[in-house]
Every structure is written in structure tokens, then in C-alpha cells.
Amino acid sequence: MYYFIFILILLLLIFPIPAAIVSFFGMGYFNQKVSYLFMFIFVLGISLFALYYSPNISDDFYRYQQNMRIMRAATGIPDLFSLINSNTTLNYQSDSILFNILEYFITKTSRFNLLPYISTVITYGSILFPLVDLKVHGYINRIVFFWLSIQTLLLFSLFFTFNTMRWAIACALFFLILYFYNKTQLKRYLYLFVIPILFHLGIILAVALTIYFYFIKKVSIKKVLPALLSLIIYLNIAKLFTGTGTIARIAQMTTGYSTDFMNRNTNGLIVVFLHRLVTILIISSAMIYIYRKTKAKTNSKLDRVLIVFTICLILLSGSMIQNRYLLVVSLIALLDIGMSYFNTKLVLTQFDVLLILIMTLISVSASSIIAYADVKDMMFSQPFIEVFFSNIFSLLKNIPI
């Protein structure tokens, strides 16, 4: 195995992206702690595509490039936030404090494509670590690992991580911190949820609901109803909050995203349908595990949180918030499956396994179609095949300025 690792690291220098693909299979095959190393190689390698990504004018990354050009005028962090608060172009992301700081330091290199690269590294590292950790400690087997990791990576396509960077990082970090808490049951991890909020304020609903349900000792209808009623009331009065400040900005964001304002063609409508189908199938798979754990009396708070988030998703129907939170609820469901497998593998019936298998095949197939629709029109400053087979020194030396 050590010879294999040595050859892989050598391959990482010569052909880093092919090495990353090989590492993905090594990450799932080996059960020892070396899986973390394979994960590290995969994340660093596969993200290298971002260094040569050339966005269209309609892409989020194009807008971030324009923002970074403005940020170059700042002479320090305090000056950066003064500039953000005074500049109408930058003001919309003023609450994304950590993302703004990341952008600022990248402006000093003049290599703006480092932004999607670092974003993808953070995102993929955050969503894969819990799954690798579960496999290393024997909570899931190789088959379940490949299922969960492939499904999760398809939810975070390269185009998604290259463009929707703030939301991608926020969702991925939310997933990672949720895993840490459920693994340790230490409440100090709950305070880490402020980190994803500092990348995208929109994740605050997921954070608020999660913290609420983890601070109460027992999840019951009496405890759930006030939270759901509060959400319904807030959605109806959010438009009354005006002015400036964080609370007003959250309310304005809620009002703006309370309807589905996108004008989609037929292909766009199909993609939205597939997103919803994938979420329903992932949640349904998780519900089978929850049902079996209920029979075995081994339910966890994460099960109840998933149920509440699913209800919230229904309440948000017809809004852009629902479209955004399809990813959040899917992540919670996938994490619940991973953390449930060890407790339910002996009580799952053959029918359960068959049903989960069918839903998995459909959800992975639908996710593949969505990912393909995302990446098929991506443009690169160098030919794709050339980037794929370039060595690490060439890739780093020729990053576009």
C-alpha cells in the first residue's frame, strides 16, 4: 500500500487531476486512516480545474471578479469593509465577512481564479470528511460510502462550486459542523455554526432551526409547532422590516426570495423538477432508516431535525428559498443515512434494501443529468484536455492573471 501511495504522490506532481480521480477510489477502498490522505489528494487535485475556468458574463464568478477589481483599492481589512459599506456594487455581500476577506487577499495575488479553487477545496473537503470519517470508524461500508460520496459530489457539481461559491461553502460547512456535533454531542460545536453564516447569510434559517432543536431536551409536537408557526409568521411580515443593518438585510433577502422569480425555459424547468425529485428520493431513503430505528427504539435528534426541515421545505413551496434549501435538506438526509446505517443494517428488510437501491439509482441518475447540464457549457482559458493532463508546475505557473 505504501508503494501505491508513493506512486500516487508522484503522479500528483506529473498528472495531478488523473491522480485525484485515482485517489477517489483509494479513498473509498482503504479502511485505514490513509483514506484521509486520499481525500486530501482528491480535493486538491480535482479543484485544479478552477484555475483555468473562464466564466460567462451571467455567472456569479464573473461578478466576483468585478468585485475583486474594486477591492484592490483597499489598503487593509478595515479599509476593505469601509469600501464595501460605501460601494453599492459590493454592499449586497457586506455580511459575507469571511468571504470578503478571502476575496481581498486573493486580489493581492492578481490571480482571481484562486477564489473558485479555494472555494472548491473548502467545499469538497467539508462534504467528504464526514463520510470518510464514518467509513474509517466502521459506521458505513465501502458500498454505502461510494453511494453517499457520489451523490454528495453530484449535488456539488464543479460548476456549482466554481460559481455559487458563498452558498456552496456555507452549505458544506453547515454539513461538516452538523456532523461534528452529532458525533460528539458537545454543545460547544453549536457555536461553530456562526462560520457558515459569515460566508452566506442565507444559511441562517438552517442554523437557527438546528440550534433550537439541539438545545431542547426532547423534540415533541409542542416544541416543534412554535418554531413552525414562528417561521410562517416571519415569512408573512418580513416585508415590513425596512432600513439598514443585518436584521433588515435578512428580511429583505427573505422578501426577495419568497417567490420563484427566475424565468426558466423548458430545460430549466426540467432541471428544477429533477432537483426536487432527487431531494424527495434522498429524504425517502432516510425515512426508511428512521422508520427502522423507530422500531428498534434508537432514534436520534438528527432524525427529528430532518423531519422538521422537511416540513419547513413544504412550507417554503414556490419560493427561491425552497430551491436553495433543497440542497440543505438533502445534506441533512444524507448525513442521517450515514449515521444511521450502523444501527439499522441488521433490521433492514430485503424490501427496504431493494427500495433504497431503486431510489438511489434514480436519484444518482437524475443528479448526473443536473451536473451534466451545469458543466456542459463551461469554458476554460486553456483546452480542457490540456488542463486535464498538465503537470502541477505548469498548472500553477500559468494561472491566468
What pLDDT is stored for residue 87 in this prediction? 85
Q: What is the pLDDT of residue 162?
A: 92
Residue-level pLDDT at 227? 76
pLDDT for 296 equals 65
pLDDT at site 362: 95
Task: Walk along the chain (401 residues) and give the pLDDT tens digit of each residue.
Answer: 666 677 777 777 788 899 899 899 888 888 778 889 899 999 999 999 999 999 988 889 999 999 999 999 888 899 998 898 888 888 888 888 999 999 999 999 989 999 999 999 999 999 999 999 999 988 888 899 999 999 999 999 999 999 989 999 999 999 999 998 888 777 777 788 999 999 998 898 899 888 887 777 666 677 777 777 877 787 777 777 766 667 777 777 777 777 766 666 777 788 888 999 999 999 999 999 888 887 766 667 788 888 888 888 888 887 788 888 999 999 999 999 998 887 666 678 888 889 999 999 999 999 999 999 888 888 888 888 888 888 888 888 888 88
Q: What confidence score (pLDDT) does residue 398 get? A: 83
Give residue 260's pLDDT: 67
Q: What is the reported pLDDT for 274?
A: 93
Assign 3-class secondary structure to the chain.
CHHHHHHHHHHHHHCHHHHHHHHHHHHHHCCCCHHHHHHHHHHHHHHHHHHHEECCCCCHHHHHHHHHHHHCCCCCHHHHHHHHHHCHHHHCCCCCHHHHHHHHHHHCCCCCCHHHHHHHHHHHHHHHHHHHHHHHCCCCCHHHHHHHHHHHHHHCCHHHHHHCHHHHHHHHHHHHHHHHHHHHCCHHHHHHHHHHHCCCHHHHHHHHHHHHHHHCCCCCHHHHHHHHHHHHHHHHHHHHCCCCCHHHHHHHHHHHCCCCCCCCCHHHHHHHHHHHHHHHHHHHHHHHHHHHHHHHCCCCHHHHHHHHHHHHHHHCCCCHHHHHHHHHHHHHHHHHHHHHHHHHCCCCCHHHHHHHHHHHHHHHHHHHHHHHHHHCCCEECCCHHHHHCCCHHHHHHCCCC
